[in-house]
Homo-oligomer: A and B are copies of this chain.
């Protein structure tokens, strides 16, 4: 597969526009009674009609057989090989709440936990306290002063939070304080490189202070930190593709991820309809739009086959608004499969439609896993989606002479 560096050499800016519509968790598995997947069950006249004038295929988000998390799956769709471009656990957690990380920030994922009077961990998740309680305790922790850096503590959900150390010359090469098991004391954070000594001391001072501050907050009377990391230095999509990219996503995680790649995260509402309206409103201002539809994945995760079918039908109903904008290239796909029968992400490849004036249509006339398996794109890695979209938008010049 061509690298981002090589794409960058041949990408050119132009007026043509690309819309990448991602129906999260789109791929499915057959319902045991009907033998049809969610997508095959849904009544999707608009998607089927689009498939009929497009080229279709099935993409592997990470590698055949691999079930991706949301971050790697989306990185792949944007052309960043997730086996190469890794995001630290702390950064991922910050991305998940769309926290505005600065380049120099060091961020850790935190858990509230319970320790006994000897300091031994009795519960790594502090009885899974409520998100509301988590927010209160984060406010307490945020008041802890540490020399040499600003400390920001933000709640995520339940017992989870992020701790951000903001200052000059901080280094994220640090070990976890979380021993990843119970019955032992939290570990001291240690520097994994010589440059990280000062940051390690800072983290340990924070942990010591946190223990004092939380002493009376049983069961959340201690913290565990892990996955210290910095905002990764990925090349921006504007540099690689010469695009002016925007993300339309109601869920914080996807806005956060898009911003890591230099996309503008547009304000939008909670509904799919509002996302489509946001696209129409900002259509003149950008030339690449990532539109993210979350509820299909949520329904799949809940094992709710029928709700997933409804979400797909809702998208189908809204599709004409998107097509009415007449983008040069429209891609409709998912980031991964979330079959309702598996109640979670899965490894199954994801159906995809690519429409453009130059797409070389195949004979697929229906948007489904089975039909896409026979599509002109075949089965291909998701990292090929962006090069294919760029090519169809006539935004890639010839490689070599």
Contacts and interface: CB of A to CB of B under 8 A. Distances in A.
A69 interface: yes
A68 B398 CA distance: 5
Contacts of A1: 63-64
Contacts of A360: 29-30, 37, 348, 369
Interface residues of A, number: 63
Contact of A380 (B30, B379, B388): B379
Contacts of A64: 1, 377, 380, 384, 387-388
B358 A346 contact: yes
A123 to B, nearest CB: 22
B380 A83 contact: no
Interface string A62-99: 11111111111000000000110011010010000000
Copies in the assembly, this chain: 2
A67 B363 contact: no
B72 A347 contact: no
A375 interface: yes
Contacts of A324: none
Nearest to A75: B400
A51 interface: no
26 contacts: A2-B62, A2-B65, A10-B66, A63-B384, A65-B390, A65-B392, A65-B396, A66-B387, A66-B396, A67-B396, A67-B398, A67-B399, A69-B398, A70-B401, A339-B358, A342-B358, A345-B398, A346-B358, A362-B370, A362-B373, A369-B376, A370-B376, A373-B374, A373-B376, A373-B378, A379-B379
Contact of A63 (B83, B341, B375, B387): B387
A358 B369 CA distance: 14
Nearest to A394: B342
Given A347-B391, A369-B360, A380-B379, A399 B69 contact: yes
Interface class of chain A by DSSP: loop
Nearest to A72: B400
A232 to B, nearest CB: 13
A323 interface: no
A81 to B, nearest CB: 11
